[in-house]
Structure 1
Amino acid sequence: MVGIGVTAALTATAACGGQDTDDKSSGSKKPAAKASPAAQEALKPLTEAQLTKAAITKADVKGYRVGDTPDDEIPEVSVPAKPATCQAIADMFLLGTEPNATARVSRSLTSLERTDGTLLRMGLLAHKEADAKKVVADLRTQSEKCNSYEHTDYQYTGVKPLKAPDFGDEAVSYTMTSDIDGDKIPVTYSVVRSGSTLVVFYAMNALGGKAPEVPAAVMEAQVTKVEKAA
């Protein structure tokens, strides 16, 4: 199944490492100013080439090995979740969204400290700005209302929102526990919208225990590169 494939790939990454790559105010409102041509251009979806160039490398995040994520770990086809009211959360597990991203790139990060059991994945998803806003809104709503769901024959429980990181134009963060063949693995997601691009951070604690945190330094490094690319 796809779900177990993702977990297996992440675990293998931890063991061997990937191939290195580089208060609204009251009163009358003034008419909103029209965006300049440059601003309008910046909000168009980035291309795959631009996303690839904006993806962090080992030079940007000291102490991590950075590798490509195999294409089969981020499939194009969405798998239905039960209940459907958890679909956005389920899709994001495989870096999927509705509406679909126009381009995606992903990287897997492995700490060079052997005692660190946290596995990290980063994804850049290009969207129209309105679509990117919708995805964040759906994730925020579902992280508050979706407690558990089934996806690719596996169970995910304890879904709850976390404090969102202070990066980009807006962000949403949540945690859950995946139950795969009896192994309960806590995971954490933080999704940052920077213009029309979604910057996704996924952390899994391969050793179990408490929910892992996505290092702030990793998030800052990646969001900064996306902002420069846009």
Structure 2
Amino acid sequence: MRTVVSRGVVAASVVAVLALTAACSGGDGGDGDGRDGGSSPTAQAKPKGPDGPGGPDGQGGPGGSDRSDRSDGGGAAKLAAVALTRDDLVEAGLKGHHVSPRKPTAQDTAMAKAPASPAACAPLVDLLAPVTPPGAKARVGRVVAPKDVYSSSTAVELYAYDTPGAAARALKDLRAAAKSKRCATFHKGDWRHSGVTARPAPDKGDEAVSYRLGRRTGPYVKRLSVTVVRQGSTLASFSAENVYDPESVVREDKSRDSGDRSPSVADKADTEPKVPAAVIDAQLAALR
């Protein structure tokens, strides 16, 4: 979810949460997103072992927190049973948010089928998309949106694998791609992704990977911050995004150089989208 303002950045953070339950079945297909941006240091949470612990809509709007799933397949139903709800956020101390299903668009489905070049970079977009990635058996997605429409939102995806080992291998491939110089800039279908950098990952779940990436969307730059946490045989993906206009930043810088001291309305290139820790904690608590 994102909004772009004429002279600045409209932060539209999307946190994709991927949460999987052990021994699930059913499915979609993989997908991705991207960003054009800068670089950052790399550090990843260490795995605690691939054999660690391992429905419905779950919409948490004004009506409450229904955890029943209308998705096809037993795997999707099991994921929906532990998918994030508004009540989970309230218990985690994050109030004033709506939780709604995240549905794939036609573009999401098409991009999921598109090849990546280099191929090893595909997990960078597959593991934040609202489509079941290769190797997973099912997925369920949520969007966490503040009631304040001017605030950022977070996308959460849960991906279910057959075993903790299968989920650990998927995360290992993601970690390698985030650190690879070959994936600093890559293509997924017609989209060119750039600015890929590994980021310090939180010490959560059995292991975790964090990274950022971006891509051009017309005159704007879409930037994403992503954290993927493995808990048993489930990958929980959280992604936040914002969109900014680099040309407006340049114009403001030139204006300031000429003596203009009016307040800035343009976001700077180093303003990264943030994935709220409370959203991650709430989803992981629901997985336990």
TM over 0.5: yes
| Of 151, 155, 164, the match for 1:121 | 155
Residue identity matched to 1:67: S
In the alignment, structure 1 residue 196 sits paired with structure 2 residue 268: no
Residue-by-residue CA offset, 1:91-115 (whole Å, 9 max, x unaligned): 224255332x111100011122333
User: What is the CA RMSD across the aligned residues, in angstroms?
Assistant: 2.5
- For 1:68 and 1:80, locate their aligned partners in 2 and report how far apart those are by CA, in whole Å: 27
Matches within 5 A, 1:1-230: 10-11=1-2, 43=54, 47-61=75-89, 62-72=95-105, 75=109, 77-95=112-130, 96-99=132-135, 101-116=136-151, 118-127=152-161, 128-145=163-180, 146-207=183-244, 209=269, 210-227=271-288
- For 1:148 and 1:64, locate their aligned partners in 2 and report how far apart those are by CA, in whole Å: 35
Residue identity matched to 1:189: V
Aligned to 1:3: none
Q: Please, what TM-score do these two structures have when normalized by structure 2?
A: 0.60
- For 1:165 and 1:174, locate their aligned partners in 2 and report how far apart those are by CA, in whole Å: 11
Percentage identity across paired residues of the two chains: 31
Q: Please, what TM-score do these two structures have when normalized by structure 1?
A: 0.74
Residue 90 of structure 1 and its aligned partner are, at CA, apart by 2.6
Q: Is the 8 A contact 1:164 1:190 kept in 2?
A: yes
Residue 211 of structure 1 and its aligned partner are, at CA, apart by 1.7
Residue-by-residue CA offset, 1:35-78 (whole Å, 9 max, x unaligned): 9xxx8xx64xx832221111111222222211111143653953
Residue identity matched to 1:111: P
Residue identity matched to 1:85: A
Structure 2: gaps (5+ residues):
4-10, 13-50, 55-73, 90-94, 245-266
Q: 1:182 to 1:151 in 2, by over 3 A?
A: farther
- For 2:128 and 2:97, locate their aligned partners in 1 and report how far apart those are by CA, in whole Å: 22
Aligned residues: 189
Moved more, 205-214 or 151-160: 205-214
Aligned to 1:22: none
Q: What secondary structure is seen at the aligned counterpart in 2 of 1:51?
A: helix
Q: Is the 8 A contact 1:120 1:201 kept in 2?
A: yes
Higher relative contact order (CA 8 A, sep 6+): 2
- For 1:93 and 1:125, locate their aligned partners in 2 and report how far apart those are by CA, in whole Å: 10
Q: 1:186 to 1:71 in 2, by over 3 A?
A: closer
- For 2:86 and 2:191, locate their aligned partners in 1 and report how far apart those are by CA, in whole Å: 33
Residue 196 of structure 1 and its aligned partner are, at CA, apart by 0.4
Q: What secondary structure is seen at the aligned counterpart in 1 of 2:145?
A: strand
Q: Is the 8 A contact 1:97 1:135 kept in 2?
A: no
Q: What secondary structure is seen at the aligned counterpart in 2 of 1:60?
A: helix
- For 2:126 and 2:116, locate their aligned partners in 1 and report how far apart those are by CA, in whole Å: 8
Structure 1: gaps (5+ residues):
1-9, 16-34
- For 2:148 and 2:176, locate their aligned partners in 1 and report how far apart those are by CA, in whole Å: 36
